[in-house]
Structure 1
Amino acid sequence: MPLFKSRLFSGLMHRRVLSRWAELARQSDQAGLRRLRQQRTRARELRQHLDRVIHVADNRLALPLIGNTTFRKPHGSDWSWRPELWRGPLPVPGMSSVQDRSMLGSEVTLFHDCRFSELTLRQLRSHRESDLAPYGVRLDVFKFDGSFLSLVIDLPPEAVQGLTKNYLIRMDTIVEMEKPLEIFARLNIKHGPNTDQLVRELPLHEEEIMVEFDLAYSRLNEKRIERAWIDLIFEGPEMNQVTIRDVTFSRRPRAEL
């Protein structure tokens, strides 16, 4: 089929489908319950695909470039990654009075033990020329009556494929705060029934905020590695605003001596 005929047919089909759903929307108040239930099921199926198209299109068309995975990595890295929260827009960009174990996207979870949550967590669009990450995340903490607060980032399966104790895992981040506080990064690697943990304090006073986890200091069972995640632990977060402009991960084999 010639290109112009294909485009014409596609345009006609789009207008027809759009007109059909517009008519269903206008009649939804009077539709019978059985018919309305059918329409809801079909609308939900359609919405899954529409949300996916919108998400991908926003990723590719906005500036700074959404979906950008470009960042500086150490020489010899065989895996690198920027989580989705910092890559592209989320269907639900934020929440207030955040409850324990609430997820923002599919990879980031907020943990705390507050009796009354006065926490907000939301995704921010980046507009600074210096920003490589299209999005950031902002955590607002007002009154805090808990004993711990952490943001957990689940690493993808690729992070642990072929992983051995000969590897270094690196995390780079850009963090802004209203007032000073301590942030610790804890790498967790589950292997069989055990979970190894390595903890590093983020050097927030330095221009480059980076930590490395040397797996040689772990008790890792290399044959039973299942998954890994990072805890960002905030010490003394009350009455503070923390913005994480970017967070990226990479791994590389340690140089042989």
Structure 2
Amino acid sequence: MAQSRKSLLQWASDRRGVRRWKRAAQAVHGMRISQLRSERARARKLRYWLNELISVADNRLALPMIGSNTFSKPHGTDWAWRPALWREPLPVPGMSSVQSKSTLGREVTLFHDCQHSELTLRQLRNQREADLAPFGLRMDVFSFDGSFLSLVLNLPPEAVQGLTRRHLLRMDTIVEMEKPLEIFARLNIKHGPNTEQIVRELPLHSDEIMVEFDLAYSNLNEKRIERAWIDLIFENPQMSQVVLRDLTFSRRPRAEF
């Protein structure tokens, strides 16, 4: 009730303000010079704050909405997902001198075998018109004395519920790089004591950076599937910066012929 009364009073106050400036604009041609100077000064001060509000509002409203899970999905998709790191702000947005097995958010873990880590990870707010994901992930690698570097992303339980060898699992991403780099995606599915692995190289020179994992060519035991995860493997990453502007997954049954 109190909130409703406050809103009503605010609405009435706004109406009075609009009427006041409407009357001033209509009377401006007959004003005395002294009054005209005063009204112009007040109007300029008001215009400054109005322009400030409009500018900030336009910028914020142009950004992808936080929490958005909107992205293009193939026909027949029965599961789709954008990880939380690309949807929601993290309590700790970044790390430096990142040690192996460090986690960023709930789903992403960095693995490497460097003796001295000169790696940083940071969540970024996407601001480009083309971006659908609210956030991106930037990785900076300076000196690199290790033999491997990978980001491991745990897929949610829904990804493997009802999963069969008839399924295609698709990964789409938007990648920005400072220099040419090879990135591989490895799907891992644990089924019983075994882990099925399928590796695909990301087509980084294509307009659409997408890979599909066709489970028909795997030895997957459908009845014993426990969990799945993705490794993003970076080859020769020293002195490079990689920004993953978006990362999404979808699953669909392959067409019957």
TM interval, short-chain normalised = 0.7 to 0.9
Q: 2:158 maps to which residue?
A: 158
Q: 1:66 maps to which residue?
A: 66
Give the 3 Å change call, closer, same or farther, for CA 221–141 of structure 1 in structure 2.
same
Q: 2:130 maps to which residue?
A: 130
Classify the secondary structure of the residue corresponding to 1:223: helix
**Structure exhibiting the larger radius of gyration computed from Cα positions:** 2
Give the 3 Å change call, closer, same or farther, for CA 192–105 of structure 1 in structure 2.
same
Within the alignment, does 1:224 sit opposite 2:224 as a pair? yes
**Shift of the alpha carbon at 1:63?**
3.4
Q: 1:77 maps to which residue?
A: 77
Show structure 2 runs of 5+ residues with no match. 7-60
**Shift of the alpha carbon at 1:6?**
9.9
What do the CA deviations read for 1:93-129 (whole angstroms, capped 9, x no partner)? 0000000000000000000000000000000001111
**Letter paired with 2:99:** Q
What do the CA deviations read for 1:5-50 (whole angstroms, capped 9, x no partner)? 8999xxxxxxxxxxxxxxxxxxxxxxxxxxxxxxxxxxxxxxxxxx
1:4 aligned to 2, 5, 8, which one? 2
Q: 2:86 maps to which residue?
A: 86
Q: 2:212 maps to which residue?
A: 212
**Letter paired with 1:209:** I
Give TM-score, length-normalised by structure 1.
0.77
Give the 3 Å change call, closer, same or farther, for CA 89–62 of structure 1 in structure 2.
farther
Taking the aligned partners of 2:200 and 2:63, their CA distance within structure 1 comes to 33
Tell me the number of residue pairs that the alignment of Structure 1 and Structure 2 aligns. Answer: 203
Taking the aligned partners of 1:175 and 1:90, their CA distance within structure 2 comes to 20
Taking the aligned partners of 1:222 and 1:165, their CA distance within structure 2 comes to 7
**Letter paired with 2:128:** R
Taking the aligned partners of 2:5 and 2:89, their CA distance within structure 1 comes to 29
Taking the aligned partners of 2:104 and 2:110, their CA distance within structure 1 comes to 8
**Shift of the alpha carbon at 1:4?**
2.8
**Shift of the alpha carbon at 1:64?**
1.6
**Letter paired with 2:110:** L
**Shift of the alpha carbon at 1:179?**
0.2
**Letter paired with 1:109:** T
**Letter paired with 1:77:** T
Q: 2:119 maps to which residue?
A: 119
Show structure 1 runs of 5+ residues with no match. 9-60
Q: 2:249 maps to which residue?
A: 249
Contact in 1 for aligned 2:62/2:129 (Cα 8 Å): no
Give TM-score, length-normalised by structure 2.
0.77
